[in-house]
Amino acid sequence: MEHDYTPRVLFRRDGHNRSEFGICSVFLPTIELRSSIDKNDKILCRYSCLPFYRELEKDIENIGSSMYVPCSHHNTLSKIPNWYNEFSDLTPKTWFYIDDIDEDTPLFIKGEINSRKDRFKTHCYAANKQEAVNVTDNLLMDTLIQDQQMCYRKFEDFVTFEKSLSGIPVIEEYRFFIFNGKIIGSSFYWSSHEEFASMTNPNRVPSAMLDEIHRRMSKLGPTIYVVDIARTVSKETKFGNWMIIEFNDFQMSGLLLIYEFDFYSNLKKELYRTQ
């Protein structure tokens, strides 16, 4: 298919993603500088849209180019309050004000964007509302999270392999990269515990659930995104014991255990198939 634009990846390379940068460059026109963007380019970022997304979007528009993922879609995906109502039946119950929480509910507490899973016992987990007050105080002292809206998520009983050194459960969780309804790549979420990967398979997540997620997310705007999904021990949703953990921006999410070659091969097909 002929396009009236050129797909291009604006990639922020660092010591952690040099291999990925090399593979991306094999499959797609890849640049590192905004000044390399040409008129009629269509830009997909990799690790490069933050912290000044709106300014980047305006710069690209002024050149006469566009982005696959506009800033408004990034905000929908990255902030739980922006997507929670649409998916409340498929994700852990979430409160946004501490006064609304049931007294004895165990909670995973985070900002609307970020969490401190590395400090799980003091900055994430609360066994009840009283402990939630203490965790909230800790998060309000954290410079990354203190300006974000707090999200109090019910701590569900997920299928667990072990607890990490920080105390957080390593659960059966999968990451899916979705581009216009197609899975570009998927893998076991906990790449830091690769020893459990052989016991997992992203294909266990019902395809009907992924289709439903895409239908609902498209109503909110984004069609290019990442979704993390985990399996509960017993709690049932309309798709069995599977729940959405969160959504993320396709452009800023790590590949985890996805083979870079396969990911960028699949991405190239979709970028050149769509307009």
Flag whether pLDDT at 2 surpasses 70: no
Number of domains into which the chain is organized: 2
Mean pLDDT of 103-112: 93
Mean pLDDT of 238-256: 96
DSSP assignment string, 166-233: TS-EEE-EEEEEEETTEEEEEEES-GGGGGGGGG--GGGS-HHHHHHHHHHHHHHS-SEEEEEEEEBS
Task: Give domain status of residue 125, yes or no.
Answer: yes
Mean pLDDT of 243-265: 98
- pLDDT tier for residue 267 given thresholds of 50, 70 and 90: very high
Higher pLDDT pick, 91 / 4: 91
Flag whether pLDDT at 274 surpasses 70: no
pLDDT tens for residues 130-144? Answer: 999 999 999 999 999
State which residues form the domain around 138: 93-155
Q: Does 97 lie in the same domain as 54?
A: no
- pLDDT tier for residue 250 given thresholds of 50, 70 and 90: very high
Q: What is the per-residue burial (b if ≥16 Cβ within 10 Å, else e) of 139-161? A: beeeeebeebebbbbbbbebeee
Count of CB atoms situated within 10 Å of the CB of 96: 14
Domain stops at, among 155, 171, 198 = 155
**Percentage of residues of the chain with pLDDT beyond 90:** 92
- pLDDT tier for residue 4 given thresholds of 50, 70 and 90: confident
Task: Give domain status of residue 224, yes or no.
Answer: no
Flag whether pLDDT at 147 surpasses 70: yes
Flag whether pLDDT at 14 surpasses 90: yes
Mean pLDDT of 192-219: 97
Flag whether pLDDT at 118 surpasses 70: yes
Flag whether pLDDT at 257 surpasses 80: yes
Task: Give domain status of residue 192, yes or no.
Answer: no
- pLDDT tier for residue 188 given thresholds of 50, 70 and 90: very high
Task: Give domain status of residue 180, yes or no.
Answer: no
- pLDDT tier for residue 166 given thresholds of 50, 70 and 90: confident
The per-residue pLDDT for 164 is 85
Flag whether pLDDT at 90 surpasses 70: yes
Question: Is 164 buried (19+), middle (13-18) or exposed (0-12) by CB count in 10 A?
Answer: middle
Q: Does 105 lie in the same domain as 65?
A: no
- pLDDT tier for residue 1 given thresholds of 50, 70 and 90: very low
Task: Give domain status of residue 104, yes or no.
Answer: yes
Residue 111: helix, strand or coil by DSSP?
A: strand
Task: Give domain status of residue 16, yes or no.
Answer: yes
Peptide bond before 29: cis, by omega within 30 degrees of 0? no
Q: Does 147 lie in the same domain as 109?
A: yes
Domain stops at, among 155, 171, 188 = 155
Domain stops at, among 155, 172, 202 = 155
Q: What is the per-residue burial (b if ≥16 Cβ within 10 Å, else e) of 59-86? A: ebeebebebbbbbebbbbbbbbebbbee
**Percentage of residues of the chain with pLDDT beyond 70:** 98
Task: Give domain status of residue 133, yes or no.
Answer: yes
What is the pTM for the complete model shown?
0.95
Task: Give domain status of residue 49, yes or no.
Answer: yes
pLDDT tens for residues 36-77? Answer: 999 999 999 999 999 999 999 999 999 999 999 999 999 999
